[in-house]
């Protein structure tokens, strides 16, 4: 009994701590100390923040080269937020599997950073439950960027399919991808090109695609 009480107190303590940390992060503006890439930053106090609802092409790492438009996305993100103060807005899920804070990021003048990256074609919209608050806006901005051929959409290397989309996850796959093959028949949708899939609000499976292509 004492062990159970002790465990309960421990769990309540950590839940309360996380809530207080989240409330503290959302209540004020924070200085951006570092920009990792096009969708991840580090605050002055050391908190790593991952932007919700978008994905930017990867920059170069030790084990792999940069993806197409990865360096440009990082540079644009840096121009927007580096050494500036930002406000964080949360959705239902506040942390990802890597312990990064998930947030919508706003500058002091109200600029919505996540949206600016999509608008300029430096990132693409990604559907991921349960954080879907700004999904309609982000998808609309992506379509506008695609139509204007902004950023990564200029000379976009459109691949011909068919490709298998999953209506539940909003991901699209190569037809040979085992994750795609596991999609329930009721959730399947076929896209003729990668451009069609992005336009519909689907993002590429990381297992069978390398980023946004």
Find residue 169's DSSP bridge partners: none
Q: Tell how many helices (H) and how many strands (E) occur in the chain.
A: 6, 11
CA 125 to chain centre: 7
| Cβ proximity of 87 and 105 under 8 Å | yes
Angle at CA 184, nearest 5°, toward 183 and 189? 70
Distance CA 70, CA 40 (A): 12
Residues with active-site annotation: 50, 58, 100
Distance CA 98, CA 191 (A): 32
């Amino acid at each position: 009994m004492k062990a159970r009480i002790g465990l309960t107190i421990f769990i309540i303590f950590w839940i309360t701590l996380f809530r207080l940390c989240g409330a503290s992060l959302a209540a004020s503006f924070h200085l951006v100390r570092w920009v990792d890439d096009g969708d991840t930053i580090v605050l002055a106090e050391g908190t790593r923040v991952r932007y919700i609802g978008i994905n930017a092409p990867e920059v170069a790492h030790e084990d792999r080269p940069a993806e197409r438009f990865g360096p440009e996305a990082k540079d644009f993100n840096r121009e927007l937020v580096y050494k500036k103060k930002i406000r964080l807005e949360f959705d239902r899920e506040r942390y990802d599997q890597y312990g990064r804070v998930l947030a919508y990021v706003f500058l002091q003048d109200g600029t919505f950073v996540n949206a600016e990256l999509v608008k300029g074609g430096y990132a693409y919209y990604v559907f991921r439950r349960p954080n879907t608050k700004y999904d309609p806006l982000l998808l609309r901005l992506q379509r506008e960027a695609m139509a204007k051929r902004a950023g990564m959409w200029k000379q976009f290397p459109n691949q011909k399919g068919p490709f298998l989309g999953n209506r539940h996850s909003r991901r699209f796959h190569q037809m040979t991808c085992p994750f795609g093959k596991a999609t329930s028949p009721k959730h399947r949708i076929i896209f003729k090109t990668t451009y069609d899939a992005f336009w519909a609000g689907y993002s590429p499976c990381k297992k069978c695609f390398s980023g946004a292509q």
